[in-house]
Structure 1
Amino acid sequence: MHRWSIRPDPVLIQAVIAGALSFAHLHDLAAAAGQSGWKGWAYPVSVDLLLVAAWRRLRAHHTRLAWCWFLVALVASLGANVATAGFLDLAHPPALLRLGVAGWPALAFLGGTLLAHAPTPTGNPTPVPPAPVDPAPEPTDPAAEVEREPVTTPEPTPALPQSSAPTSSVPPALVDHARKVATDHRTRTGTDIDTATLRARLGVPEDLAGAIVAQLA
């Protein structure tokens, strides 16, 4: 079983004592102004509740309305404490004190209503820009890709010296290069390369181009 231990809190004890004294001073002042019976006890409750309500409003939002009613309740509480310290003749209270005590219920009711129904101030939130939307990829057309494909520049082939040797003897390196050119042409166009196109791509004489085409066939 847990054993509860009560530890005195000096701050809480001081608050209770100060509240009790302020409550008694407010009751004495109300009673001196002609508010007897339960009315005399209701005045200190009204003042203290308005003070607490204004303070709670101040903790949430520092508005002018909360400060105004906090000061009104504080002045009423301090005024009662000072008035009962011998500065006023409570046996013959002045007319101004009677007027203030008589008008306090309406003033406290107005302050409590305004504090309870005051709109909550809201800050202007900074607008957050929407995240950029990536554009949808354009549909690709295989035919268009083939048309847009850059034409590969043929590798420069060293010019062959013209000789009286028969055209049927073609260097193997030239045949391999011509085969690459023909394969590239077939990939791009879907048809075999002809003699005129091969001659233009290789830059060789017509008879040598025919011999190369014959070897590629």
Structure 2
Amino acid sequence: MPLKIRAVVLVLAVIAGALSFAHLHDLAQAAGQTGWKAWAYPVSVDLLLVCVLHRLRADRSVTAWFWFLIALVASLGANIATAGVLDLEHVPAWLRILVAGWPALAFLGGTLLVHSPNPTADPAPAPPATTPAPDIDPEPAPTTEPEPLAPAEPEPESLAPAEPVPALPQAPAPALPPALVDHARKVADDHRTRTGSAIDTATLRARLGIPEDLAGAIVAQLA
């Protein structure tokens, strides 16, 4: 809706609301409701009407339509009564009774509209049943003739046994100085006392700072 149309509708709603409010106030005051009570009647009628309209947007039940008619008759009847149909100087007794009983009626209607359960949403439609597609036998795979086996390659002739390689002469074991052997024996005994196992070549080499072959020869002699 364009902005100008909204402004026109807003002005129209304000004017109509003000006139209806004034007519309800005049009727309540003529029926014996003075002071703030005369001003509260228009508020109760208009609020009940707004509450019913809000309820009708979500629930178009018989109860909602019933209270809509009650609020509409109360608002429309008050506006018509102030147009000279009734003598506001001598209000009949039945109108005084209606005006006096309106607060209880409006409170009852608003309470019922607020506390009535909301309509349950329609269940989602079940998806249409799909009929299973008929089983279609797959096309037979084309038969292929087996390829002819390749002729076996002739086994290679057995190779003649290789001639044994003469063993290289072993290097003579390094000479072990007696003093070094005695010192290594003390280190090995200390290692066995602390760890419970015999010393190995790497540990002895690290402890004495000697070459690996010399440490291996000493470990072999101490074993």
For this structure pair, what is the TM-score category when the shorter chain's length is used for normalisation? Answer: 0.5 to 0.7
1: distance between equivalents of 2:103 and 2:52? 16
Pairing partner for 1:65 from 59, 63, 66: 63
Matched, 1:114 2:145: no
Letter in 1 for 2:112: L
Alignment of 1:53 with 2:51, yes or no, is yes
Q: Give distance in 1, aligned partners of 2:14 and 2:125.
A: 48
Rounded to whole Å, the distance in 2 between the matches of 1:31 and 1:127 is 56
Letter in 2 for 1:83: A
- Work out the CA distance in 1 between the residues paired with 2:72 and 2:125: 41
Aligned to 1:97: 95
Residue aligning to 2:138 = none
Per-residue CA deviations over 1:15-56 (Å, capped at 9, x if unaligned) read 110000000000000000000000000000000000000000
* Structure 1 letter corresponding to 2:119: P
Larger radius of gyration: 2
Alignment-mate amino acid for residue 93 of structure 1: V
Match of 2:183 in 1: none
User: Which residue identity is paired with 2:93?
Assistant: A
Task: Give the corresponding residue for 1:43.
Answer: 41
Deviations 1:96-151 (A, max 9, x none): 1000000000000000000100100114415748x99xxxxxxxxxxxxxxxxxxx
Runs of 5+ in structure 2 lacking a partner? 131-147, 149-223
Shift of 1:59: 1.1
**1:9 is paired with a residue of what secondary structure?**
helix
Aligned to 1:84: 82
Q: Which amino acid aligns with 2:88?
A: L
Aligned residue number for residue 163 of structure 1 = none
Q: Match of 2:83, as an amino acid?
A: A
Q: Residue 13 of structure 2 aligns with which residue?
A: 15
* TM-score (norm. length: structure 1): 0.55
d(CA) in 2 for partners of 1:13 and 1:128?
48
**Cα RMSD (Å):** 2.3
Distance 1:110 1:127 in 2: 38
Q: Is the counterpart of residue 75 in structure 1 residue 73 in structure 2?
A: yes
Within a 5 Å distance, the mapping from 1:156-195 to structure 2 comes to: none
Which residue number in structure 1 is paired with residue 29 of structure 2? 31
Question: What do residues 169-200 of structure 1 show as CA deviations (whole Å, max 9, x unaligned)?
Answer: xxxxxxx9xxxxxxxxxxxxxxxxxxxxxxxx
CA distance, structure 2, for counterparts of residue 34 and residue 22 of structure 1: 19
How far is 1:76 from its partner?
Answer: 0.3
The 2-side partners of 1:101 and 1:23 are apart by 15
Matched length: 127
- Write out the 4+ residue segments of structure 1 that deviate beyond 4 Å after TM superposition: 126-129
